[in-house]
Amino acid sequence: MTQRIRPGAAIAVAGLLATATACTGHSSTPPGFAGRQLSAEHGAQGAGAGAAKGPRTFTLLASGDILPHAPVIDRAAADAEGKGYDFRPMLKGAAPAVSGADLAICHMETVYGQEGGPYTGYPSFKSPPEVATALRATGFDSCSTASNHSLDDGASGIARTLDALDRAGVAHAGSARTAEEASRPTLLKAGKGKDAAQVAHLAYTYGTNDLPLPAGQPWAVNLIDRDRIVADARAAREAGADVVVVSLHWGTEWQDAPDDVQLRLGRELTASGDGERPDIDLILGTHAHVPQAYEKVNGTWIVYGMGNQIAGSMINHDGARDPRASESSMGRFTFAPPAKPGQRWTVKKAEFLPQWFDTEKGRVTGLGSTAGDGDSRLREIRDRIGTVVLSRGAAQDGLTAGK
């Protein structure tokens, strides 16, 4: 099946080839080399070098958890009409916004099972690898893969997942197959050629459901540690990143408001920097299963939680089916280059895009500013998401509902 790749966004790929340059537009680079290393063109010149070449404004979009419960897997099988699993129809409603961004980031919460299955949902997930193909077809460029389910099938589950993402041409951050892979930041290009910005994508999780890291592989999944995150962000700057984006799998499930750990860690991470530029330019949160607030802290945007982009019907801690598990937002941030090299890229426009996943039809539905006006239920969902997203004063800092 064809893969839709936007001309304005390409994965910086060198993989195992030190001399390879990053791809732009329709790439001839084998998808198995996705992510994980610098282009020779930009990386040798260090942080901020892109500003001297006149990089252009770019948009970055991020979405919430991809969490294929058993009914979601069954829906994908039905949509494939007997030919495996097809998750593309589920994501079709998100595709215009995703493919319209210069760079799009998702959160792949589960690992993939062996080709042909068996595939399982909760509590120990093994998803069809066809998910990766659908993510790329929708327009995603990179996915965070650090979550509490990263070790549901041990080291082999991680390897299968990253292999499938590589084949699909989707970069990844947060888990690794080798120590060498774990030591390199995932670097992406937003834009074309010399005008492209270099974006580092880092990802971490609070834990792995008490499953121990594989023996001899302490690097298999990135765990949240403030000092480590800051060190990794600084290393990404040294490697040439103009913008550093951190995905965090954190927070308290079913809680609309960010918890104390999120608030404290968010303050600490956004306060870290050298005065001219922060170490981290954007924080993207997942895990809570419900939408959470956006907030600008120390001049940096934090999305505490985007909710589930795809998930089956879920039961909360009170034992009740919770419709909020089908609600989410996508964050869209327009970054502008600094006036001088070495200064921070600024977010000149911040937007949220409400979404709803129809669990009966298995479809993502966008809830833009006019969507749902003829349907009171969808209007209520859209308004509730907006109330939560704006609950920490983000509107005063310029956050608006996108179209």
What CA–CA distance (Å, rounded) separates 151 from 221?
A: 8
Q: Is residue 3 part of a domain?
A: no
361 in a structural domain: yes
pTM of the model: 0.88
Measured CA to CA, the distance from residue 263 to residue 302 in angstroms comes to 10
Question: What is d(CA 198, CA 207) in angstroms, rounded to the nearest whole number?
Answer: 29
CA dist 202 and 199 (Å) reads 10
The model's pLDDT over 315-325, given as tens digits with 9 standing for 90+, comes to 999 999 999 99
> In whole angstroms, what is the distance from residue 169 CA to residue 11 CA?
8
- Report the share of the chain in percent with pLDDT over 70: 85
The CB density around residue 17, as the number of other CB atoms within 10 Å, is 12
The answer to whether residue 231 is domain-embedded is yes
Give the CATH number for residue 88: 3.60.21.10
CB atoms within 10 A of CB 58: 25
Residues 6+ apart with CB under 8 A from 172: 34, 35, 108, 142, 143, 144, 145, 161, 162, 165, 166, 186
How many other CB atoms are found less than 10 A from the CB of residue 264?
12
- Residue 245 token pair: 């984006």
Reply yes or no on whether the pLDDT at 242 is more than 60. yes
Pairing of strands 346-358, 399-401: parallel
Helix (H, G, I), strand (E, B) or coil at 136: helix
Rounded Cα gap, residues 324 and 65, in angstroms: 13
Distance CA 158, CA 67 (A): 15
Question: Is the torsion defined by CA of 21, 25, 29, 31 positive or negative?
Answer: positive
Per-residue pLDDT, 373: 60
Per-residue confidence (pLDDT) for residue 13, from 0 to 100: 32
Number of domains in the chain: 1
> pLDDT tier at 312 (50, 70, 90 boundaries)?
very high
Query: 153 or 373: whose pLDDT is higher?
Result: 153
What is the predicted pLDDT for the residue at 14? 32
23 within some domain? no
Q: Which residues pair with 187 in a beta bridge?
A: 200
For 4-62, the pLDDT digits (tens) are 334 334 433 333 222 222 232 323 232 222 333 333 233 333 334 334 456 799 999 99
Q: State the Cα–Cα distance between residues 359 and 43, nearest whole angstrom.
A: 44
Q: Dump pLDDT digits (tens) for 128-142.
A: 999 999 999 999 999
2 within some domain: no
Could you report the per-residue pLDDT of 154-212, keeping only the tens digit for each? 999 999 999 999 999 999 999 999 999 999 999 999 987 888 999 999 999 999 999 99
User: Is 208 part of a structural domain of the chain?
Assistant: yes
Domain range for 154: 10-18+29-401
Domain membership flag for residue 47: yes
DSSP 287: -
* pLDDT value, residue 375: 85
Domain annotation covers residue 246: yes
For the ranges 44-53, 71-80, 275-284, 338-347, the lowest mean pLDDT is seen at 44-53
